[in-house]
Every structure is written in C-alpha cells, then in structure tokens.
C-alpha cells in the first residue's frame, strides 16, 4: 500500500506511456524498437552474460535483413550491452567484479554530487512532474511489471537530475547509468528490490520537499547499492557453481 503522505502529491499529468515494454517513441522506428527489445532481453536476463547473438536467428526472429541486424548489433555495442569478438561474433557483455565496483563508484560520485548541486527551492512545476513520474513508477511496481518499472525508474532519475540545470553532468550520469543497465537484472526481477527502490524514491522526494539536501545526497548514494550487490552475488554464485 502506498504511504498516506503521498496523497497530497497526486497529479493527473501524463508523463510516461501506459503500455509496458518498448517506449512509445520507438514504436514507429523498427530499428529502435528491435534495439529496445534486445536491450530488455539483456536487462531482464532473458539473454545471459556471454550468450551469443547469432545474426541468422535475429533475422528470423524479427523478419529483418542482415544489414539491419548488424546495425542493431553495432548500436548495442555502442551502448555497452554487448561486445563483438573476432571469430566469435556478438556476445552479451559480462562484467568482472572490478568493472562493476568501478562503474558503481563513478555513478555514486556523479549522482551524489548532482544531488548536492540541486538549487532550492524546487519550482512547483518541476516538483509536480517528479511526483507524477513517481506515481507511474508506483503503478508499475504494483503491477509487477519489470519493463515498466525499468522505464519509469529511468524517467524518475532523469527528471531528478534535470533539476541541477547542468546538462553536461546529466549526460555523464545518463552514460554511466546506461553502462550498468545489464548489471541491474538480478535486482529488477526481485519484487522486494522494486518495492525498496519505490520507497526510496519517495524519500528522495520528501527530502527535496523539506530542503534536506544532505539526506538526498545520502539516499542517492545508497540507492545504487542493491543492484550492484545483487549482480556481484549472482556473479559469485555462477562461478562457484561452475
């Protein structure tokens, strides 16, 4: 059940598409839509680390030409979701524990500093937009829809860091967040993690409302830890079992 103190924050603003899965903006762009579907396959563990993406299978699955498949794979490579190896082909990216630790350390630095730079007070229209996005995140969590949760979560953090007014910092945050998308699947599929993240978003909103930047900074840093730790635990279990 959503906390009672959220009721006075309700708004009817439509911020995200109601449908799950591929973003509405991608639906009229087949290449973007296919890229988004494969991205979700990787994020939610339907495609596993080091699993090969075979061109012929993708051509058959999506009914597309080889050159389109190769352009999609090139996009996924640039996004850091896959890696292409000579004489092997395209593989879902696998992260070492060192890479995971370093990526999340950089994210913690960037996001905590961004939270510290948010000027107060927050304009009411910006605050209302953040609340509206979080309400849609709530709905996705209650619907137990990881794809919708993922998209709404991205929208929430984008809106939060837009409050800094620093576009260069926003791009850096988005880039390092995108690089960790494949790392998140172990946490996103867990209902307790989704609920914890939802609750933490509201705590961030309440900290902003109270003008408590130090609490917001701490929350932004702590918010990253469960997905990092879930991936490292799954990584350790995999290699122990092997």
Domains and CATH numbers, the chain: 24-92 (1.10.10.10), 96-241 (1.20.120.530)
φ/ψ (deg, to 5) at 53: -105, 105
What the block records as the tokens of 104 is: 């999340």
User: Three-state DSSP class for 231?
Assistant: helix
pLDDT tens per residue, range 140-193 = 999 998 889 989 999 999 999 999 999 999 999 999 998 888 787 666 777 888
CB neighbours of residue 55 within 10 Å: 15
pLDDT tens per residue, range 11-56 = 333 343 333 354 554 456 889 999 999 998 988 888 988 899 999 9
Q: Is the peptide bond before 121 cis (omega within 30 degrees of 0)?
A: yes
Report the predicted TM-score, pTM, of the whole model to 2 decimal places.
0.78
Strands 82-85 and 89-92, by their bridges, are antiparallel
- Helix (H) / strand (E) element for 225: namely helix 225-241
pLDDT tens per residue, range 55-114 = 999 999 999 999 999 999 999 999 889 999 988 899 998 888 899 999 999 999 999 999
């Amino acid at each position: 059940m959503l906390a009672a103190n959220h009721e006075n924050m309700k708004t009817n603003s439509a911020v995200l598409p109601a449908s799950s899965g591929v973003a509405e903006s991608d639906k009229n762009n087949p290449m973007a839509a296919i890229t988004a579907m494969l991205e979700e396959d990787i994020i939610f563990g339907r495609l596993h680390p080091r699993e090969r993406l075979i061109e012929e299978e993708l051509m058959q699955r999506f009914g597309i030409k080889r050159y389109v498949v190769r352009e999609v794979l090139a996009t996924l490579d640039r996004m850091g979701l896959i890696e292409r190896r000579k004489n092997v082909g395209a593989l879902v990216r696998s992260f070492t524990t060192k890479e995971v630790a370093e990526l999340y350390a950089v994210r913690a630095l960037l996001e905590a500093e961004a939270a510290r730079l948010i000027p107060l007070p927050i304009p009411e229209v910006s605050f209302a937009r953040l609340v509206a996005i979080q309400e849609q995140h709530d709905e996705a969590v209650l619907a137990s829809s990881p794809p919708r949760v993922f998209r709404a979560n991205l929208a929430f953090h984008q809106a939060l860091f837009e409050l800094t007014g620093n576009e260069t910092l926003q791009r850096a945050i988005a880039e390092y967040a995108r690089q960790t998308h494949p790392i998140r699947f172990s946490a996103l599929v867990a209902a307790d993690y989704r609920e914890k993240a939802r609750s933490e978003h509201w705590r961030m909103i309440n900290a902003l409302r109270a003008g408590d930047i130090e609490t917001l900074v701490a929350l932004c840093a702590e918010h990253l830890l469960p997905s990092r730790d879930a991936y490292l635990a799954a990584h350790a279990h995999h290699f122990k079992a092997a």
